[in-house]
Amino acid sequence: MSTARKRAPAPATGMPADAAAPLLPGLSETESRIYHSVFDSVMNQRIAPGTKLPEQALCELFSVNRATVRKVLQRLAHDHIVDLRPNRGAVVAAPTPEETRQIFQARRLLEAAIVPLVAQRITKAEILLLRKQLRDEHAALHRADQPAWARLASTFHLRLAELSGNAVLHGYLHELVSRCSLIVALYEPPGNAACEHDEHARIVDYLENGEPAKAVRVMNEHLLDLERRICLDKPQAEKSLAQMLGLA
């Protein structure tokens, strides 16, 4: 990555395709609906890595023209959800083992730099807000609300980046968290929490107690454990594109 930039997070809403989709910056209501349909289907493991997304099929499924579909696919490619390949069209991104290793390695290094900066700056009021966020995480976990849980878990890491006071680090982490979330959604076996609540709580405890080295150690172990649970050769069932998008 040559420049740090902030992206509008792609919300993992898990909502059905016919629900009102939140508008995304630069996209119309219809374009946002198509974006969310593809994004949510990927994040909820209905669409396998490498699945082709033919323009004509998407046009027919959503009753839109090619210009609309192409704009949505370009936005999905920008957010690393799909790959646009010359003369082959769009396919759902399928990170290789080496790409996965590099993405997680970069994230561990980045968060190891962020945590000590947070420890230097964090206030009692901010600790209280982090603990409230942990309570929300816990509630979502026990409701078995995976989309809400995934959003809150990612938000915890991004909130720490904000508290570091370094906008460049926050911009880089935003992109890495997005890419890690895609990898986890595509390849983590069912039944695993994408981000462990207890580990988040221990990190906050160490920050509150002024023990940044221990907080960094827990963060590193936390991200290593997340990477170890990735299964890159998970088999996928055969389904039609309409079924995978929740439209059939």
Residue 55: how many CB atoms within 10 A of its CB?
Answer: 15
Query: Is the model more confident about 144 or about 160?
Result: 160
| pLDDT at site 137 | 80
Mean pLDDT, residues 144-157 taken together: 69
- Given a cut of 50, whether residue 11 has pLDDT beyond it is no
Overall pTM > 0.75: no
| pLDDT at site 238 | 57
| pLDDT per position as a tens digit, 125-134 | 999 999 998 9
Domain ranges within the chain, ordered by starting residue: 1-94+237-248, 97-228
Q: Which fold is adopted by the domain 1-94+237-248?
A: Arc Repressor Mutant, subunit A (1.10.10)
Rounded to an integer, what distance in angstroms lies between the CA atom of residue 58 and that of residue 64? 8
Mean pLDDT, residues 8-27 taken together: 54
CA dihedral for 218, 220, 225, 230, sign (positive or negative): positive
Instruction: Give the architecture (CATH level 2) of 97-228.
Output: Up-down Bundle (1.20)
Provide the mean pLDDT of the chain: 82
Mean pLDDT, residues 98-114 taken together: 96
Q: Do domains 1-94+237-248 and 97-228 have the same CATH topology?
A: no
3-state secondary structure of 228: helix
- Given a cut of 50, whether residue 19 has pLDDT beyond it is no
Give the pLDDT band (50/70/90) at residue 18.
very low
- Given a cut of 90, whether residue 54 has pLDDT beyond it is yes
- Whole-number Cα distances in Å, 174 to 9, 115, 158: 8, 15, 7
Among the residue ranges 35-39, 54-58, 108-112, 157-161, the one predicted with the least confidence is: 35-39
| pLDDT at site 144 | 57
Mean pLDDT, residues 140-144 taken together: 66
Query: Is the model more confident about 178 or about 85?
Result: 85
